[in-house]
Chain A
Amino acid sequence: MAARVRSRQALTGYVFVLPAVALFAVMGVYTVGYGLALSFARWNGFTPYWTWVGVGNYLDLIYRDPTIAPIVQGAAVRTVVVMIAQPVLTVLISFPLAVALNRITLLRAAFRTVFFLPQVTAGIALYYAWSYALQPDGSLNFILRHLGLGTIAQPQGWLGNPATALPTLIVVAVFGAVPVAMLLYLTGLQSIDQSVIDAARVDGAGGLRTMTSVVWPLLLPITGAVVVLNLRDALQGFSQTLLMTNGGPGGHTLVLGLESYNLAFFSGLKPTLGLSSALGWILFVIALLLAAVNLRALRSRA
């Protein structure tokens, strides 16, 4: 009798889950499989036939095609720079910010809202606003000049100078990433048992020692999550670069995510959809490996 009830309950569960599984099978598994297959083919998106090239797309991207490989290699270097800088800066800014917010009681909610605002503002609007602020006659240069810091101002704009364009994009990306990271850290801080902090103090640990030896290690899993989120964004994101610089000036901000997009949609209808898909899969594998390494390293230390 009990077995029959359990079976019926299980069946009911499967029936409820089935639509979601079916939808995922069609929109998820099938399209993922389709994308993987496309990475082994040459196609312009219109012809009824694909031309199979095996691993040719992967080889062309990595070293074989002299017109594409150098561009991909340059984009890879820039992507690595972003992958290092963005997570590090995000952690360096969001963790102290969360600690500070956790300590204050007056206006905490107001500050939290202010710091979270960039996250709720639509990315596109944010990118355009930044673009205007960073122009030669934009507000950033204006402020610097009126503060007597005119030598720092960029006459060609912060996105027009090859030396400042990529760092500026990283700063804008960090600006967008800090709110979520800060909120995660704040949640983590508020979940730490006060008795642990008290015990550290009883043992004679000062504020800094408590922070570095107790709080920071306890929050390592959160740091892991923040780093993974930012790594993924740095590796695969392209909308910010597309809107703010389109990879310029002179290709100095072209990153792999944008190159994949360009190969898919802005290659003059050349048959490069397979190349784009292959690049997407390369990025996926790298992201997967980095996430696994990162989570394992931080989890073991925690």
Chain B
Amino acid sequence: MGTMRCGGRVLAVVAALAVVTTACGGGSGSGDGTTLSMWTFKQTHVKALEAAAAVFKAQTGITVNITAYTPDDTYTSKVQSAAASHNVADVLEVHAGGEDRVLGGAGIISDLAPDVNDQYKSRFLKGTADTGLITEQVYQDSLKPKATDPGVQKGQLYSVPFTAGTFGIVYANKDMLTAAGVDASKPPSSWQELISWLKATHDRNPRAGGVTMGLKSSSTGLDWALEPMAFAQLGRRDYEALFGTDKAKSWGSPNGQKVLEQYDQLTPYWTAGTQTLAIDEADRAFAQGKSAFDVGGTFTISAIQQNGLNPDKILSFPIPAPEGSVTSDFKLAPIALTGLSLSAQTPNRDAALKWVDFLTRQQQAGAFAQAALDLPGTDLGADASKLVGPYLSTMEAAFGSGDSAYNPGDSTFMGPTWDIEAAGDILVKMSPLKELDPAGTNAQLAVYNNSVNSGK
């Protein structure tokens, strides 16, 4: 198998034509460090970033122009073509722990390791600072034939955390809980209690008393509910073994059966048609009172609020651990969801570094969180409640670290081509579709896991 340097040429032609025809489209700033450009794929971040840019200009005299390209695939295409025509923005907001490595390996964004020391890193939430770091494991994985991030080198740092959060947060409608005779003042103490709550709200209101999730993206069931529950139930070692090659402990084993039977307890309580709802649609359905529970991440709160449900009416809590779980004191590890990266082509590197430093300082991060309703990667410390309000700070309280904390960003123990949508489709066939029972689901996941690991 040979290699050929030609992908960029065509993109360069296309990008050049696009630039000629539009005579705009962003690109790097002034070149003298007085004007910067920044691209983001999150429309909800634009106003908050523009507000930050106004403060930054007052402090430094540097202008920052913010542009959003949505949805994600449009953003990806934009960065691809701009990189080929050397017209990438000075600063990019990227998906942390994935896209940053791909862009870094391709030489599109630059290594921040020389500029971000341990003291700098200490400002971020525990466990998130090194999301963009190329560790030995990441480097070794990058050498595999079908790796997503070829070209990275050990020790490089391609992003610093910008927003953080985690998956596996349950939102419940307090009014519906109360109407069903459930004490809505504190979260359920176990998975079993959560199921009993679901039964109560569903019995009370069969049409709208169930649980919803954006299962149109079938990965959500696996990623947001089953995996954290399985981590708590089995403990870290046996949870990770589910995705390994030891057939006594991987999918198809009694451990797989156990977690699937637990998850299958949700099946009677899904809101009708939840398998056809996209993530935003599920959040909207919950906010509109069409469902008593909604499963998502820390980021879901902003969608629910934007859809008009008063946060006072919501009880939120992490997916609870089943009774008899191996993991004691189960927590959710925060991960950097998005990061800030610098273009490798920027002529304004010093100014861009100043902007990144400014955005990730505690006070500015708090202001951003308030404006964008998104949790920053910067640790807001004791001032969290004051800076971001009670709901986002409650989320921070659910975070933990160490062996008892489930980290959704860690996929190093999974097969190299594990596709969460393909696996999610199998899970959806069990719950809510009832086409498979837990044993059949376990068998199909075993076949899929074995095929994924056969490439190791």
Contact = CB atoms under 8 A, between A and B. Distances in A.
Given A53-B1, A159-B276, A270-B148, A71 B7 contact: no
B433 A246 contact: no
Contacts of A245: 216, 276
B276 A248 contact: yes
Given A66-B454, A268-B148, A250 B3 contact: no
A50 B276 contact: no
Contacts of B4: 41, 49-50, 52
B433 to A, nearest CB: 5
B180 interface: no
A136 B275 contact: no
Given A42-B146, A49-B5, A248-B428, A135 B102 contact: no
A239 interface: no
Interface residues of B, number: 55
A66 B215 CA distance: 25
Interface string A34-54: 100110011111111111111
Contacts of A250: 218, 275, 425-426, 428-429, 433, 435
Given A248-B276, A270-B148, A52 B3 contact: yes
Interface string B128-172: 000000000000000001111011000000000000000000000
A237 interface: no
A136 B422 contact: no
B10 interface: yes
Interface stretch (B32-40, B103-111, B359-367, B372-380): B103-111
A49 B3 contact: yes
B448 interface: yes
Using C-beta atoms within 8 Å of the partner chain, give the interface range for chain A. 35 or more
Contacts of A71: 422
B265 interface: no
Interface in A207-256: 245-246, 248-251
Contacts of B83: 46
Contacts, number: 137
B151 A249 contact: no
A284 interface: no
Contacts of A50: 3-7
B272 A156 contact: yes
B148 A162 contact: no
A169 to B, nearest CB: 12
Contacts of B454: 66
Interface in A251-270: 251, 262, 265-270
A160 interface: yes
Contact of B419 (A136, A246, A265, A268): A268
B68 interface: no
B390 interface: no
Interface string B85-110: 00000000000001100110111100
A155 interface: yes
Contacts of A67: 417, 419, 422, 448, 451-452, 455
A51 B278 CA distance: 35
A162 B70 CA distance: 31
B76 interface: yes
Contacts of B102: 44, 46, 269
Contacts of B429: 250
B278 A30 contact: no
B276 A249 contact: yes
B73 A157 contact: no
B150 A52 contact: no
B447 to A, nearest CB: 8
A31 interface: yes
Contacts of A162: 433, 435
Interface string A157-168: 101101000000
17 contacts: A37-B6, A38-B7, A43-B7, A45-B7, A45-B80, A46-B102, A47-B105, A49-B7, A50-B5, A51-B1, A66-B454, A160-B274, A162-B435, A249-B215, A250-B218, A265-B73, A268-B419
Interface of B: 1-8, 10, 13, 73, 76, 79-80, 83, 98-99, 102-103, 105-108, 145-148, 150-151, 215-218, 272-276, 278, 417, 419, 421-422, 425-426, 428-429, 432-433, 435, 448, 451-452, 454-455
Interface of A: 26, 30-31, 34, 37-38, 41-54, 66-67, 71, 131, 135-137, 155-157, 159-160, 162, 245-246, 248-251, 262, 265-271
Given A51-B3, A250-B218, A250-B435, 11 more contacts: A46-B108, A47-B150, A48-B5, A49-B3, A67-B448, A67-B452, A71-B422, A136-B272, A248-B275, A267-B419, A269-B102
Which 4 pairs of residues, A with B, have the shortest CB-CB distance?
A: A66-B451, A46-B106, A157-B273, A251-B425
